[in-house]
Chain A
Amino acid sequence: MKLKLAKKNFIPFLQSLMDEYDLFAPVRLAEGASAYKKIDQPEEVDLSIRNPQKPAKEIFFPQSEIMFRYEKAGKENRITSTEEVKRNRVLLGARPCDIQAFALIDQVFAGKDYTDVYYLNKRKATTVIGMGCDGPLSTCFCSSLNGGPFQREGSDLFLTDLGESYLVELLTEKGMAFQKNKFFEKPTDKELAFAKAIEEKSAVKVKVSVPVDGIEKRLDEMVESPYWVRVQEKCLGCRVCTYLCPTCHCFDIVDEALTKKGRRVRNWDSCLSSLYSQETSGHNPRPTNRERTRQRLMHKFNYFPKNFDRIACVGCGRCIIYCPAHFDIRQTIKEIQKGGDT
């Protein structure tokens, strides 16, 4: 079903969402920095942001999350889990690349043996309103990884910016629940055609440019290659790429304690940290940046595909834009495909 939301109704529309749901949307934190946040004032929402630094996975997998609280009473412990999601949620304005990434992380956190209830409860409670990219960047390569600037997979509703209004497509059962929203109108044929034109223009911009076919097999042959020493020379191990990557899912679990009570918290972590694999004995299986960079690249393009048949990259380009040493993963992929020839 295709409906339309006039931009002059945007703020009251947001308010109508906030009356029923916890709303998460992109917010500008400073001139050049943004993230997805829980919205307190509808005016905070800024859908003109190309792609916030922090990926949308934060909504389901927060950077820092309490898992349970405990309280000591004598020799006993009382535990209260925080896994429950009290109110249903709407995620507004996520781009198709970030939404693709949800499907990848779902594979890790769902799993047949153990379910990560913290993540899954939030996933189940959230309606995803995706937004098409009418201005993809030259660093975007989603089309090379089964994605695209207007890919609708994973969205319950999907927005296209038409200038004066948004085209709103209701795609799933969850999405159809919004059809009665009083701010939605019927779009004209002209508007529908305009939306189609925007979509076609964007698709051309993000042509398939990064050769990922067969990269898993290539990497099988390169485990001990000298390439890993060369490729990481300029890498500072600064971890920006892992913290901004929509598909990275590594985390640390720690206890934060006061005397009698405290909580168990999980925080994002990065395989590029020097102490990531450090064992209490002092032994570190990944002692230098060579092993750690190899781990990162092989996890994305070899280990994850072995387990889940998908490459753990959605081509959002954040790692290319924000790396202080200007590491370009598209170049790395091409070099790997040539067997490590730089």
Chain B
Amino acid sequence: MALITVRFYSLWRSRLGTDSATLQADNIDDALAQLEEKFGSRLREKLETAGIHLDGKIQDYSLILLNGIALRNLKSAELKEADVLHIFPPAIGG
């Protein structure tokens, strides 16, 4: 079990009203499950009040990096002490 930090950015930070949280997790899946449990419904509710409806889990509509590496590029799902998860919404407009 590792103590990791989750850092929220952009719209997620302003809607959740916090820039970070800590989690005790074994691996990425465990961390994402806790993230959804602790912040998923709160984020969706906050967004809903602003007229923004999002379906699915927090991980489904976020870009997530572990220590600066996109989750999709990770070679190992294991977490170690002091790891940092960065999470923010994809902004793709121009």
Task: Say whether A associates with B.
Answer: no
The chain A residues found within 8 Å of chain B, CB to CB, are none
